Amino acid sequence: MMRLNERHSLYVTQSAFRFTKKRVGFRSETAQFQPEIVRWFEKMRDIDDQYQDARDDRMALTSEIDYREGTLSDVIRQMAREARAMVGGKTSDPRFTKLFTVTPTELCRNVTGKDEMRIISNIVHRLENESEYASLKPHAQAIHGELDILSDLHQKRRAAWQAEERLLADRAQIVKDAQTYYNELYAKILNIWPNNLKIVESIFYSLKRPKNNQKKDEAEEER
């Protein structure tokens, strides 16, 4: 028997448990082990489902963040167009440069970056507090709205990351414990047939399954 170890993935380990669950059911002497094998298999399945669900949550939040960053960029671009019109297209006008220390295109390239957020904060402050930007002031509320949404999404994604990492660690531990049980099961079954190593070996999953066994299976399926 080839022992399961840390090199073997969850899916290889599950395959071993599925196979051995079927094999112990073939004989009354080993049927007693089937419930515990099933219990470990279900523990691995359940923790993997939880991990995959947490991973999907994090990925879905990332997708929503990407979308909302695009929405924030659209709001800023629209405001920039109106600001440009306000100064007659002269982007060297101090009224424009006080808002945009970099071009709107550069600002929107990484709109939630650390430096970019400082620029956006400056824009919002000026729109809200300086009279020369009265016509642009409604955009401040729209930017605030998008920033609030993004802040909430980032908080949720941080929590999702933490849940994903925790479940990944839990899954690794459960798989390790399941592998220990599986490896120890060999000795228990060997005690039943100490003089019949062949039948004992046949109960355990072969990690290097001979090709001729696969051909036999295929031939059986064709019958």
pLDDT at 217: 46
Residues 1 and 10 sit within 8 Å (Cβ to Cβ)? no
With 90 as the cut, is the pLDDT of residue 222 above it? no
Q: Per-residue pLDDT for 220 more than 50? A: no
Q: How does the average pLDDT of the chain come out, rounded?
A: 92
Q: pTM higher than 0.85 for the full model?
A: no
Residues 6+ apart with CB under 8 A from 29: 192, 193
Quick one: pLDDT band at residue 208, thresholds 50, 70, 90? confident
pLDDT value of position 181 = 98
pLDDT in tens, 32-55: 999 999 999 999 999 999 999 999
pLDDT per residue over 153-206, tens digit each? Answer: 999 999 999 999 999 999 999 999 999 999 999 999 999 999 999 999 999 998
- pLDDT band of 223, cuts 50, 70, 90: very low
Alpha helices in the chain (DSSP H): 10-24, 34-86, 94-97, 104-109, 114-129, 138-192, 197-203, 211-222
Report the pLDDT value the prediction gives residue 2, as an integer from 0 to 100: 76
Overall average pLDDT of the 54-59 stretch: 97
Q: Which helix (H) or strand (E) holds 128?
A: helix 114-129
| pLDDT one-digit tens code per residue, 86-129 | 999 999 999 999 999 999 999 999 888 989 999 999 999 999 99
With cut-offs at 50, 70 and 90, classify the pLDDT of residue 210: low
In this predicted model, what pLDDT tens digit does every residue of 60-69 receive, in sequence order? Answer: 999 999 999 9
Strands (E) across the chain are located at none
Tokens of 182: 């599986």
CA of residue 65 relative to chain centroid, distance: 15
Measured distance CA(48)–CA(59) in Å, rounded: 16
Helix (H, G, I), strand (E, B) or coil at 3: coil
Expressed in angstroms, the distance from the first to the final Cα of the chain is 31
Count of helix runs (H) and strand runs (E) in the chain: 8, 0
Buried b (16+ CB within 10 A) or exposed e, 87-97: eeeeeeeeebe
Burial class (CB in 10 A: 0-12, 13-18, 19+), 84: middle
pLDDT band at 207; cut points 50, 70, 90: confident
Please give the Cα distance from 104 to 81 (Å, whole number).
9
CA angle 173, 177, 178 (to 5 degrees): 115
Position 209 pLDDT exceeds 90: no
Burial readout 186-207 (b: 16 or more C-beta within 10 A, e: otherwise): beebbeeeeeeeebbeebbbee
More confident site: 216 or 139: 139
Position 36 scores a pLDDT of 97
